[in-house]
């Protein structure tokens, strides 16, 4: 029997939709803990981050005015090891979202068996409207504001939406100045010359394509015959499109924040990669575009949301035509939509598994920084392959064993690690 059929029998189709990613995460944690017979105390520990810092960052703008930005750093749980997670620059960053993202990082690290807990950061800003100099001052100001609670053995940031290796370089430089010693292990996703790792820039996409291959095996579809739609053409989406194109799959739809472009014969990926801007925008080059909603509902073999949260909801879940969804983005599908998709026999590989390639190679980067000894790209990719395939197999097995969908199984795997570590430490 297929995993999705089994899961459909065990889930209920609910019409009540929770778009607040923090609340919906808490509810799945509660359910997963109950299924594994853990005590209510563990839920009390895991339902909120252990630490959440809100900071206000004054930045001198290019016109000499001062703008004060709000930023966050959430550290969900450090029982397994130091917390780890990206920093997002986006106008819609919120405290609740950052908290949820840090919980997902705890689960992701558990699934990939990394010695970390989950952290996350964000600043409410619109980087597309800021100059290079303003972004540098904001990045440095953020590090000064959170410096007390972060560090190579405490909490290690990384890139996320609208942040990149240049921003990581500024942050690392600022931290090293504050501590008065070179601290490459403070942050990952750095440029190679500053202690970055081979393979980090492409790691999330590499991890996603490994999951795609594993999911295709379950549905007996060959990658070369697959038609893929990708929402988002930033770090995750654009490298994924490149790798799929190189492996002979057809990428028939791609979008950015402003809309999507399609070609049923396969889009010209090398051309799009050459023309995309540093924020992953591409549709401005085309006259004929579709909406992001239309893109998500396209007929294809694999749909990869690789942009923002809450894209597949009860509103559109019944109209999704892809038999496989692999989530590169964090939180693109609501819990209620997951139930609908599962009932419809769609195989959904959840974010906390599919996008774990990024944090896995961030871990490799941190290990190399701590050792001061650097690996080849081939070594990094081989190690990543092992982690991703083992993680996929483990989650798939747990899903079959407990007759649940892969998202729920991924929560169970991730929660088990943090619950066990917290118990051994005597916290609960
Ligand atoms: P990015 O900033 O490089 O790119 C974001 C892309 O999403 C851009 O193409 C942008 O135009 C598009 N976008 C923004 N808002 C949109 C909207 N409302 N509708 C449709 N498209 C929109 O970001 P990224 O690093 O590629 O991250 C994308 C997703 O993957 C995020 O959810 C992120 O948390 C997740 N993720 C990233 C990494 C990583 O290492 N970069 C790791 C794990 C998970």
pLDDT tens sequence across 288-307: 999 999 999 999 999 999 99
- pLDDT reported for residue 307: 96
Ligand 1 touching residue 207 (CB < 6 A): no
Distance from Cα 208 to the centre of ligand 1, integer Å: 13
For residues 262-291, give the mean pLDDT: 96
pLDDT at position 8: 38
- Closest-CA residue to 406 (of 5, 7, 1): 7
Query: Rounded to an integer, what distance in angstroms lies between the CA atom of residue 353 and that of residue 77?
Result: 18
Kindly tell me if the per-residue pLDDT of 266 is higher than 50: yes
How many beta carbons lie within 10 A of that of residue 266, not counting itself? 15
Q: Is 365 in the pocket of ligand 1 (CB under 6 A)?
A: no
Ordered by start, the domain boundaries in the chain are 49-182, 203-355
- Quick check: 152 and 183 in contact, CB under 8 A? yes
Is the pLDDT assigned to residue 9 strictly greater than 90?
A: no
Per the model's pLDDT, the better-predicted residue between 3 and 417 turns out to be 417
> Is 401's pLDDT higher than 60?
yes
Which ranges of 54-187 would DSSP assign to H, the alpha helix? 95-111, 132-146, 165-179
- Ligand 1 centroid, distance to 235 Cα (angstroms): 7
Q: Which of 191, 205, 196, 172 is nearest to 366 (CA)?
A: 196
Q: Mean pLDDT throughout 336-356?
A: 97
d(CA 190, CA 196): 4
Q: Which superfamily is assigned to 203-355 in CATH?
A: NAD(P)-binding Rossmann-like Domain (3.40.50.720)
* Helix pair angle (21-35, 95-111), 10° resolution: 40
Give the mean model confidence (pLDDT) for residues 61-87. Answer: 98
Interval between CA 238 and ligand 1 midpoint (Å): 10
Could you tell me the pLDDT band of residue 5, with boundaries at 50, 70 and 90?
very low
Alpha helices in 11-80 (DSSP H): 21-35, 40-46
Distance from C-alpha of 225 to C-alpha of 189, rounded to nearest angstrom: 33
Nearest to 173 by CA among 156, 164, 186, 157: 186
Atom from ligand 1 closest to the CA of residue 307: 7
User: Would 49-182 and 203-355 be classified into the same CATH topology?
Assistant: yes
Percent of the chain with pLDDT over 90: 95
Beta bridge partners of 74: 52, 120
**CA-wise closest residue to 123 among 75, 49, 70, 74:** 70
Mean pLDDT of 395-399: 98
φ/ψ of residue 416, rounded to 5? -55, -40
Pick from 15-24, 134-143, 274-283: least confident = 15-24
- Model pTM score: 0.94
CB of residue 272 inside a 6 A radius of ligand 1: no
State both tokens at 174: 């600022």
What is the pLDDT at residue 17? 76
Which sequence positions are flagged as catalytic? 120
In this structure, the strands spanning 51-60 and 250-256 are unpaired
- Per-residue pLDDT of 37-65, as tens digits, reads 999 999 999 999 999 999 999 999 999 99
Q: What's the mean pLDDT when you consider all of the chain?
A: 95
As a whole number of angstroms, the distance between CA 242 and CA 249 comes to 10
Cβ of 162 less than 6 Å from ligand 1: yes
Is any ligand 1 atom within 6 A of the Cβ of residue 238? no
pLDDT confidence of residue 1: 37
Mean predicted confidence (pLDDT) in 147-153: 98
Q: Which residue's structure tokens are 């609670």?
A: 149
Tell me the CA–centroid distance for residue 236 and ligand 1, in Å: 7
Q: Are strands 259-262 and 117-124 parallel, antiparallel or unpaired?
A: unpaired
Q: What is the mean pLDDT of residues 366-379?
A: 98
**CA–CA gap between residue 42 and residue 51 (Å, rounded):** 16
CATH of 49-182, one of 3.40.225.10, 3.20.20.140, 3.40.50.10860, 3.40.50.150: 3.40.50.10860
Residue 150 has pLDDT above 60, yes or no: yes
Arithmetic mean of pLDDT, 142-163:
97
User: Considering Cα of 375, then 377, then 379, then 381, what sign does the dihedral take?
Assistant: positive
CB environment 297-333: b (16+ within 10 A), e (fewer): bbebbbbbbbbbbbbbebeebeebebbbbbbbbbbbb
């Amino acid at each position: 029997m297929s995993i999705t059929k089994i899961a459909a029998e065990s889930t209920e189709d609910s019409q009540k939709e929770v778009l607040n990613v923090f609340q919906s995460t808490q509810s799945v944690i509660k359910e997963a803990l109950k299924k594994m017979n853990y005590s209510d105390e563990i839920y009390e520990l895991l339902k909120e981050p252990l630490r959440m810092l809100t900071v206000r960052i004054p930045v001198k703008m290019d016109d000499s005015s001062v703008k004060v930005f709000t930023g966050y750093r959430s550290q969900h749980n450090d029982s397994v090891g130091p917390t780890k997670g990206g920093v997002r620059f986006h106008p819609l960053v919120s405290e609740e979202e950052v908290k949820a993202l840090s919980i997902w990082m705890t689960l992701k690290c558990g699934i990939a068996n990394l010695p970390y807990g989950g952290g996350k950061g964000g600043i409410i800003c619109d980087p597309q409207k800021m100059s290079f100099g303003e972004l540098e001052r904001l990045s440095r100001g953020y590090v000064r504001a959170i410096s007390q609670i972060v560090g190579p053995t405490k909490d290690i940031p990384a890139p996320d939406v609208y942040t990149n290796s240049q921003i990581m370089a500024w942050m690392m430089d600022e931290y090293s100045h504050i501590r008065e010693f070179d601290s490459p292990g403070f942050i990952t996703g750095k440029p190679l010359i500053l202690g970055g790792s081979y393979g980090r820039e492409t790691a999330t996409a590499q991890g996603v394509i490994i999951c795609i291959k594993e999911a295709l095996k379950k549905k007996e579809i060959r990658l070369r015959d697959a038609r893929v739609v990708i929402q988002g053409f930033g770090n995750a989406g654009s490298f994924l499109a490149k790798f799929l194109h190189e492996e002979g799959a057809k990428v028939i739809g791609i979008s950015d924040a402003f809309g999507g472009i399609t070609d049923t014969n396969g889009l010209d990926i090398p051309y799009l990669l050459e023309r995309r801007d540093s924020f992953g925008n591409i549709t401005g080059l085309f006259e004929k575009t579709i909406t992001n909603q239309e893109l998500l509902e396209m007929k294809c073999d694999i749909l990869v949301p690789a942009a923002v949260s809450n894209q597949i909801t009860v509103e559109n879940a019944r109209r999704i035509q892809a038999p496989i969804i692999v989530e590169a983005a964090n939180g693109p599908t609501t819990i209620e939509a997951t139930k609908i998709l599962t009932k419809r026999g769609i195989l959904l590989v959840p974010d906390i598994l599919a996008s774990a390639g990024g944090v896995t190679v961030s871990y490799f980067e941190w290990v190399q920084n701590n050792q001061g000894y650097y690996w080849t790209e081939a070594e990094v990719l081989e190690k990543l392959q092992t982690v991703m395939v083992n993680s996929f197999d483990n989650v798939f097995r747990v899903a079959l064993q407990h007759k649940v969908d892969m998202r729920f199984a991924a929560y169970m795997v991730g929660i088990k690690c943090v619950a066990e570590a917290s118990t051994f430490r005597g916290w609960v």
